[in-house]
Structure 1
Amino acid sequence: MPNGAETKTRVESYLLARIPFVSVRTVERGRVLDLLGELARDKQLDILLHTLSQGLRDLRTKQVVFDDKSLLGALDLAGEWFQSRANLTIVFTDVQHLSDDNDISRRFADLAALAEEHGGCIVIITSDPVWNMLQRMGMSVRLDLPDFDEMLQAVHEFLRPYATDIRIEWGPAEFEQAASILAGVTKTEALNILATFVVKKAVTKEDLVELSRAKDSIFSELSGIERVTLRPGDNQVGGLSGLRQWLDRKRPLLTMDLRDRGMRPPRGVLLVGVPGCGKSLSAKTIASDWQLPLYRLDIGSVLGAYVGQSENRLRDALATADTVAPCVLWIDEIEKGLAGSGTDSTGVTTRLVGQFLYWLQESRARVFVVATANDVRTLPQELLRSGRFDDMFFVDLPEPDERREIIGIYLRRYLHVPVPDNIVDELVRLSEGFAGSDIEAAVAEIGHEALRVGDANVRLDYFLDCFRNVVPLVRTTPEKIEEIRQLRDRAIPASGKARPAADRSTGTRRVVLG
């Protein structure tokens, strides 16, 4: 996509070639005006700027040359000046209704024809499309939001004057991380965020977290995906050490500059396995530990009743995710939204799968996807091939040491007194076959009793009774659990532990240990 330097080069060539009509498509009017101001000074170009607030003024000297602020008055004057002044360029910034055939569009077309006769040039700065017949009279250029290099330069230039007056703890790595986080915002928005750090007379490493939060607040009202609020202390996951170690290795790569190696940032992970064992909680934990905003995409909710509606909704949702990056994008029970590819008569699912796979493969935005599924057999096979997700993990029922860790997490959360080790040992034994959600339910019941009678007054046998009263899925629907567990050989064990050889089915499997 065109960055500032590329756009400046193109605009310069158009102005020197005296192209009669040039449209610059952007949401950053200020950047374009800075660019045009540099060209006016460096190339000694005669450029006038019209705004509804100041009328016509010289872009080099900033002096007002005509105080009629109306657009029609400026158009009339431009027509007169094109006939009397050679090589004149006039820039218009506050123009509406240029996207179709109307009186304003035709007046600009007439003015462009006059400019062509006398070596003049009209520049329109707009974020909207331009009427086709008008656009064909000249050239168009697009200025996208600042790329990494531009944002890094902008951050350095903004903070450099304050280096002797405030404490700046950032080194090269922090400056690069800040530029990466600020991707997707305008230069003005980025500098406004940095200005809040300067006001407090210190720019610390902890401000990088605040940088993500400030950016997130800019896009909090965007549609397409749902912002998930993370409460401190509620997103701890027990066990899954293999997954956690893998994530620790991936985290730094999400904000590193990987371009010199031609690599993309980590794309994400697919979590499959037994219900209630921490797949969805893992998405929240990743966002919390990585101090990134968490967004949830419900693919089933994008389905629309009209032709093309579903595809447009998914496209908007994924574009929103790219805009708010870096972030974690959680897709819960992905098989419910993308299963059955090719079986629906309208072909909607097939198109959604294709659109999602294209984004998953091609997007370079720093969006880390955490998708969960209970049964990958219903998913399109092309979603599972290498190059889509970084890896696929199987989340199984927790082992004794994992259950001990999970029990400890919930005991500390729901009780205010320590629990004897021998009681914890017994709870670990009683929780054989429990999912993490079963353990949470049992400990929550103990917490309810503690609220009623006081923490110190909960009978120890009540702890055991709460665990004995839980009937886990492995006992109510053992066939379903066994069916799901047959998928273990297709994924890396999230626990980080390889199953005994006697328990392995035929097939290949990658194992990540310690």
Structure 2
Amino acid sequence: MAYAQNIQQFQDSYYQTMRLIGLERGIRGSKAQHQDIKDFYRIVEEGRDLEVDELSAVQLKAKAADRDRANQRKQEMEATAKALSLENEQLRRRIEQLEQDNQSIKKLTEWSTDLALDDVGIELGLWRKGNEWVGGSHIINIDGSKFSDLAPGSHFEGNHAIDLVKHVNQCNQTTAIAWIGERFGEVGAKRAAIAHAQKVAADIIQTQPVPQFTPPIEDKKQWQQVEHYLTQKRGIPSDCVQMLHNQGLVYADSKANVVFVMRDLDGNDPDFFLTSEWIKSALINLKLYNCNANKTAILLGSNATVSSDIAPEVPTVIQQLPAIEEISSYLAQVLPDYSRSDIHATANAGLGMYLADIDYGIRQAFASGVSPTPELIASLSVYKIELFKRIYSIQFLQPPSTPIGGLELMQSAFKTYKRLLTTLAKAYNLRLPKGILLIGPPGTGKSYSAKASSAQLGLPLIILEWGNFRSYGNLAEYKLKSLLTLVDRINRVILYLDDFDKGFALDDDLSKRLAGMLLTWMQERTSEVLIIASANNIQWLPPELTRSGRFDEIFKVDLPNYGERHSIFKIHLAKFDARFRNGGDGYSEEEWKRLLKATQRCVGAEIQAIVERAAISTFCQMFGDDVSPLQELPLLEITLSALLAARQSMNPLAIREADRVESMRNIAALHGLPSSSIDSSIYSLGNVDIFGET
């Protein structure tokens, strides 16, 4: 015990304990993690008598463990250094490879650039006189890669160095290339030949129709051999082979090749074909038993998805829509004579289409005789609109020719949005609202306002019936995803969702999935797509859809007031009655007050119908049943009585469904900003006191 006490006292001495256990620091009750040190303190604290050998063994074990840890750490550091050295060597080799690739690209770029026609002209013995090159009987005007011979009786035009040599030397192409090789060396001859070949290829692409794919012709004499191969060597059940053959899905060609016909790869169900059991089995067998046969199965589809069972074995490649830079680069090759600004304008017209579609649209335009840039852009735009109708079931709408009556506050907001489209606004990090929601009763002008915004903002408008998405069934999500990808690529466009609330009228899984997809896209997108949606019943929309960040602006489009009804009447009357054109007016103030009072609670669509009915009745009164052409048409003047009669024949929605319309108006007032300013026109009722005096 005395020895143990001495050991405890010895432990309390910092210097002595350090020497005893070989550590830099020793403290009684230490939290040291090393097991040998723990054993040392446990023995000391238990008060056991330690033999010198036992104490030395503990010390040696502790030192050995420290040495082992140091060696292990050293080995780890050496391995890390070796790995870093190897990685550094790989990086150096990669840099060398990139430098070699860069040099190769530079050489290819040089080789694909034609010789300067000015240099070729000098070698041909032409001398410059002002802007023209003269020699022999030639007066050559050179403009970049183009030249024209202005000499009387010549009027020859051409492109590139080989054409110039052929024209001046009156030789064929082979002789021209040999002449260039003599003057400019082998590299110069190759450059000229490559540039000339690119021009010839571009001309062929523009003028020649694309060969259409034709399936191999069936040879029934070879079927027995093919059937034997499929059933005996490939192990496909004979009844399956015979069934496919009877349906025309497998047959033999003249060389005894097996021809498989795959139809409706997409199907009504995206997984219809690729998830069928036999195709999954066939793909797995191809992977397991034919991996060395150098055979690859390529499965194509516009919206096909692969089952999770075989997805790891089937890489998926998604063809993205090309960006404007990619389209411009392609058009520069197809349209080498177009300027950079013309290329950019044409590329804008092609946004949203694949390069193959753009190429087809251009060739279709050239085949119809289109050549100037504006005509080509117009033709390509028409083709794109038709293509979008077929593929996406959407349509571009032209801005309405008739102006909007009333809704001054909303129109003022759209003028502000137009200024946010400028580069100056971008410099201040200002942006368009991500979404604008128009709510209110039917017929108040929500759809018309959205269409008119296209003209105000100078952006194309795509209209989409949101409620129709339900009719796509299982394809609804794919259709929506494709559409959102399309408008993102087009970028500056208005996406108008008509009757937005109808898509959420039924609280089912499909509506929730579509809403979730739209919510995610509206929140995360970075494109400048402006979404405008119209809804009659905002209470049908999910609350999270109407918050800021999705729909930043919500406007209440209400029944038109007296002043707005006056403006709407004049707009529609001007279509038929010349007295109302160019700011004219055919009625007195009292007549207007009678008409506006009689049309209370009428919306813009109903006012348009009243005017059209009055115009028809006036026309029928002016002319009999047999209407013969007249040299000079008499003026059609629509009277107040004709308008009042037309009003009497109509029962406005706001009166017919008063409760529902008032409910829509009240809910819209809670959520939206007013679209119209306070009525300050001379036709306003003003303040009415309890005695009915104004």
Distance 1:415 1:314, change over 3 A: farther
Counterpart CA distance in 1 for 2:479 and 2:428 is 30
Cα distance change on mapping 1:39 and 1:415 into 2, 3 Å: same
Structure 1 contact 253–265 (Cα < 8 Å) conserved: yes
Cα deviation code 1:159-202 (max 9, x no counterpart): 55334xxxx8x48xx93x65455332122433554564896443
Tell me the secondary structure at the aligned position of residue 221 of structure 1: helix
**Match for 2:551 among 389, 392, 406?**
389
Residue 149 (1) aligns with residue 311 (2): no
- Given that 2:498 and 2:535 are in contact with CA atoms closer than 8 Å, whether structure 1 keeps it comes out as yes
CA distance in 1, matches of 2:596, 2:478: 46
SS of corresponding position for 1:269: strand
Deviation, 1:371, is 1.7
Q: Does 1:320 align with 2:483?
A: yes
1:420 paired with 2:586, answer yes
1:335 to 2:501 alignment: yes
Q: Is the CA contact (8 Å cut-off) linking 2:421 and 2:432 kept in structure 1?
A: yes
CA distance in 2, matches of 1:207, 1:149: 19
The answer to whether structure 1 residue 190 and structure 2 residue 358 are counterparts is yes
Query: More displaced, 248-257 or 207-216?
Result: 248-257
Shift of 1:409: 1.7
Q: How many residues align?
A: 393
TM-score normalised according to structure 1 size: 0.59
Kept in 1, the 8 Å contact 2:559–2:601? The answer is yes
Classify the secondary structure of the residue corresponding to 2:390. coil
Matched, 1:214 2:380: no
Secondary structure of the corresponding residue to residue 350 of structure 1: helix
Question: Which structure is higher in helix share?
Answer: 2
What is the CA–CA distance in structure 2 between the aligned matches of 1:137 and 1:276, rounded to whole Å?
A: 55
Amino acid at match of 1:214: Y
Structure 2 length-normalised TM: 0.46
Q: Distance in 2 between matches of 1:265 and 1:412?
A: 35
CA distance in 1, matches of 2:424, 2:315: 34
How far apart, in 1, do the equivalents of 2:380 and 2:526 lie?
20
Q: By how many angstroms is 1:302 displaced?
A: 0.7
Aligned counterpart for 2:665 among listed residues 485, 488, 500: 485
- Determine the structure 1 residue equivalent to 2:462: 294
CA 156–409 in structure 1, closer or farther in 2 if over 3 Å, else same: farther
Compare the two structures and name the one with the higher strand fraction: 1
Tell me, what secondary structure is at the counterpart of 2:574?
Answer: helix
The 2-side partners of 1:379 and 1:328 are apart by 21
Deviations 1:310-346 (A, max 9, x none): 5x414414423543656544333322321465xx5xx
Superposition CA RMSD, Å: 5.1
Note closer, same or farther for the CA distance 1:106–1:469 as it changes in structure 2 (3 Å cut). closer
Does the aligned pair in 2 maintain the 1:239–1:405 contact within 8 Å?
yes
The residue aligned with 2:534 is 372
Residue 272 of structure 1: how far off its partner (Å): 0.4
Could you say which structure has the larger radius of gyration? 2
- 1:315/1:252 CA distance change after superposition, 3 Å: farther
Partner of 2:409: 242
* Residues 191-235 of structure 1: CA deviation (Å, up to 9, x unaligned): 55456489644324x976665433212222125x453766964x6
Is the 1:333–1:372 contact (alpha carbons within 8 Å) kept by the matching residues of 2?
Answer: yes
103-112 or 445-454, which moves further after superposition? 103-112
Q: After the TM superposition, which of the residue ranges 449-458 and 383-392 deviates more from structure 2?
A: 449-458
Distance 1:315 1:142 in 2: 14
Alignment partners' CA distance in 2, 1:38 and 1:140: 30
Q: In the alignment, does 2:434 pair up with 1:283?
A: no
Q: Does 1:268 align with 2:435?
A: yes
1:436 has 2:604 as partner: yes
Match of 1:446 in 2: 614
Q: Is the 8 A contact 2:420 2:426 kept in 1?
A: no
Q: Does the C-alpha gap of structure 1 residues 130 and 387 become closer, same or farther in structure 2, counting only changes over 3 Å? A: closer
1:425 Cα shift?
Answer: 5.8
Tell me: CA distance 1:106–1:478, structure 2 relative to 1, closer, same or farther (3 Å). Answer: closer
Instruction: Give yes or no for the alignment of 1:202 onto 2:348.
Output: no
- 3-state SS, counterpart of residue 280 of structure 1: helix
Q: CA deviation at 1:354?
A: 1.7
2:175 matched to which residue of 1? none
Please give the secondary structure, in 2, of the residue aligned with 1:296. Answer: strand
Between 271-280 and 427-436, the greater mean CA deviation after superposition: 427-436
The residue number in structure 1 matching 2:160 is: none
Instruction: Specify the SS of the correspondent of 1:294.
Output: strand
Alignment of 1:35-50 (within 5 A): none
Change (3 A) 1:424 1:200: farther
| Fraction of identical pairs, as percent | 23
SS in 1 for 2:496: strand
- What one-letter code is carried by the residue in structure 1 that aligns with 2:676? S
Distance 1:320 1:161, change over 3 A: same
Distance 1:491 1:187 in 2: 43
Partner SS for 1:220: helix
SS in 1 for 2:452: helix
Distance (Å, rounded) in 2 between the aligned partners of 1:273 and 1:353: 21
Task: Verify the 8 A CA contact 2:468 2:503 in the aligned structure 1.
Answer: yes
Q: Which residue of 2 aligns with 1:162?
A: 338
CA distance in 2, matches of 1:114, 1:473: 72
| Change over 3 Å in CA distance of 1:264–1:188 after alignment to 2 | farther
**Per the alignment, in what secondary structure is the counterpart of residue 389 of structure 2?**
coil
